[in-house]
């Protein structure tokens, strides 16, 4: 196969594809050039930077393109149904980055509870703010509400249970076995909002529906901590910022934003925000697993 890799890929996996006889081209294309470029490839591998929309698929029609692979969990940067309607298979790598994203979410939880981000920042400014940041709290004994209980949500739940947190979870469809097998209680969304000391969001993009909005924030405990490593467009950032200013939300850990690169400086510069630039899956181990899954998908394609 002739394969286009637009957003980078693990070097070992690239070498494996080439050793298996595939021609691999590593190149990023601007949106207005992408559709025509796709005509010359059998498969394209993207991460989050490249977006393949209906117009790109229309431009690629009549060419070689048969397979689109998203190296990662979500496929909201691809018009999946439109591609499949055009006879193009769409795959992703849902297993590869679960632990990495879950660990980052937990890292943001610790950062929010112990002021790790802002305290470190002030030290680099030559300050010693021990009194200001000496009023943190422990995670053990607190209740974590997980919205979206797929692979990442479950991985985070296991970590949280391991440090002594109570875990409750909500999913659009009830995940069988949460209560019995995992020791994590399934609840409806309003109950999760009311009971949680920490809320971590792990849903795909919901087509403009804002799970975190003024109406739902009002249902939360005062002083809740909010974590988002899923998709930025699931959050009304103006409502989140207002809640941070009022103290309704004590702190937020954010890896994803409505616009990326992030443009809402009032939000990501807020002293009670622990922020990272969409690095949830950016670990060596996750990239190796993603690469291995991509190789597996390509080698099994059409079998």
Q: Please list the active-site residues.
A: 231, 260, 278
Which residues face 274 on adjacent strands? 253
Euclidean distance between CA atoms 272 and 116, whole angstroms: 10
Euclidean distance between CA atoms 116 and 198, whole angstroms: 17
Euclidean distance between CA atoms 291 and 13, whole angstroms: 5
Report whether the peptide linkage leading into residue 131 is cis, meaning its omega lies within 30 degrees of zero. no
Euclidean distance between CA atoms 39 and 60, whole angstroms: 5
Chain-centroid distance, C-alpha 123: 30
Euclidean distance between CA atoms 58 and 277, whole angstroms: 32
- DSSP alpha helix (H) spans, 125-273: 151-162, 189-195, 214-217, 237-246, 265-268
Which residues face 228 on adjacent strands? 201, 254
């Amino acid at each position: 196969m002739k394969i286009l890799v637009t957003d980078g890929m693990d070097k070992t996996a690239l070498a494996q594809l080439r050793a298996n006889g595939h021609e691999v081209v590593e190149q990023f294309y601007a949106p207005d050039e992408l559709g025509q470029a796709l005509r010359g490839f059998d498969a394209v591998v993207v991460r989050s930077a490249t977006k393949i929309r209906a117009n790109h698929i229309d431009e690629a029609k009549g060419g070689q393109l048969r397979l689109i692979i998203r190296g990662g969990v979500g496929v909201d940067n691809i018009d999946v149904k439109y591609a499949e309607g055009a006879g193009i298979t769409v795959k992703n790598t849902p297993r590869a980055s679960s632990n990495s994203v879950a660990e980052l979410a937990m890292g943001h939880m610790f950062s929010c509870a112990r002021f790790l981000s802002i305290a470190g920042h002030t030290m680099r400014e030559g300050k010693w703010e021990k009194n200001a940041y000496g009023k943190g709290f422990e995670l053990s004994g607190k209740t974590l509400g997980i919205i979206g209980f797929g692979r990442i949500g479950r991985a985070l739940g296991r970590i949280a249970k391991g440090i002594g947190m109570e875990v409750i979870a909500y999913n659009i469809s009830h995940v069988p076995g949460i209560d019995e097998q995992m020791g994590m209680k399934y609840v409806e969304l309003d109950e999760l909002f009311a009971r949680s000391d920490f809320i971590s969001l792990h849903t795909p993009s919901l087509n403009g529906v804002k799970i975190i909005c003024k109406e739902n924030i009002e249902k939360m405990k005062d002083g809740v901590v909010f974590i988002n490593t899923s998709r930025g467009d699931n959050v009304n950032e103006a409502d989140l910022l207002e809640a941070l200013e009022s103290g309704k939300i004590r702190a937020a850990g954010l890896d994803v934003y409505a616009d990326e690169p992030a443009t809402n400086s009032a939000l990501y510069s807020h002293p009670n925000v622990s922020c990272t630039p969409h690095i949830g899956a950016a670990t060596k181990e996750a990239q190796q697993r993603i690469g291995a899954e991509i190789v597996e998908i390509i080698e099994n394609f059409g079998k």
